[in-house]
Copies of this chain bind each other. A is one copy, B any other.
């Protein structure tokens, strides 16, 4: 396994030149596109890792999965899915037009930005800090790592440049779907800025692979919510490339524009990948290829 991971990193690192780091968030634009790391954790706690697996990066859209689980714990399925749908969409993650042309301004799913903003608005707590802290707390629990925290430079960078997300949030407020724009976005930017490495991601993946039970055996997510999260990873986890990823890789995964991918094989392993060179749809180009190769070599597809 160790050797395989190392050779996969070397094999796929050159594809970085076909992609680009996320340029619209200044802090992310500083990342080195040629970095590529991977970590795998199995239920016995054995860890295999290769490449730049120690590099720290922010969760970005991976956090949408965690905030969804917090919102589901707060409001139940009915409460959440009355405000956001469950359907994958063929549109880019920051798309807005369907909110306007549909009969109802209900984001199609919680993995696109509009849907994730609605989800962030649902997280309970007395203050913005407390509400965001609840997402960070679940990340720490899933990863068995109490040191995880947000990266303040990324947080500020996102907050100051999030024009499209503000457009989405004001549109949703105008339709009565959310009440507060800046508070909601503040939670959203904070959760996006949570900082991890590949091993953290792999442990988070293992927690979902075990339906909500961490490596150390602690249940931190109710089973039905963990299953639901895994389902969204399959249908909507890789933006509007989720269908292709299901066919070519076939395991639950959620990506972020930092270049991270949280993946898992049910019951068998959690996987964390980091490769900041992105393809046009916003997924790590090196990370996706590494995962496809890894899945095919070991026959991991759930289909």
Residues of A within 8 A of B (CB): 85-91, 95-98, 100-101, 108-109, 163-164, 166-171, 173-174, 181, 227-228, 230-232, 234-236, 240-244, 246-247, 250, 252, 266, 301-303
Contact = CB atoms under 8 A, between A and B. Distances in A.
Given A234-B235, A235-B242, A301-B227, A171 B90 contact: no
Contacts of A166: 166-167, 170, 181
A249 to B, nearest CB: 10
Nearest to A281: B87
13 contacts: A88-B88, A88-B90, A95-B100, A96-B100, A163-B171, A167-B168, A167-B170, A227-B250, A228-B247, A231-B303, A234-B235, A235-B235, A236-B243
Given A100-B96, A108-B90, A246-B234, A167 B163 contact: no
A85 B171 contact: no
Contact of A96 (B87, B91, B171, B246): B171
A226 to B, nearest CB: 9
Contact of A250 (B100, B169, B174, B231): B231
A174 B170 contact: no
- Work out how many copies of this chain go into the complex: 4
A46 to B, nearest CB: 25
Contact of A88 (B85, B89, B100): B89
Given A87-B90, A166-B166, A170-B170, 9 more contacts: A85-B244, A96-B100, A97-B100, A163-B181, A167-B167, A167-B169, A232-B243, A234-B246, A235-B243
Contacts of A169: 167
Contacts of A232: 243, 247
B97 A227 contact: no
Contacts of A228: 247, 303
Nearest to A92: B100
A86 B243 CA distance: 5
Given A87-B90, A88-B90, A170-B164, A235 B246 contact: yes
A96 B98 contact: no
A240 B87 contact: yes
Contacts of A167: 96, 166-171, 174
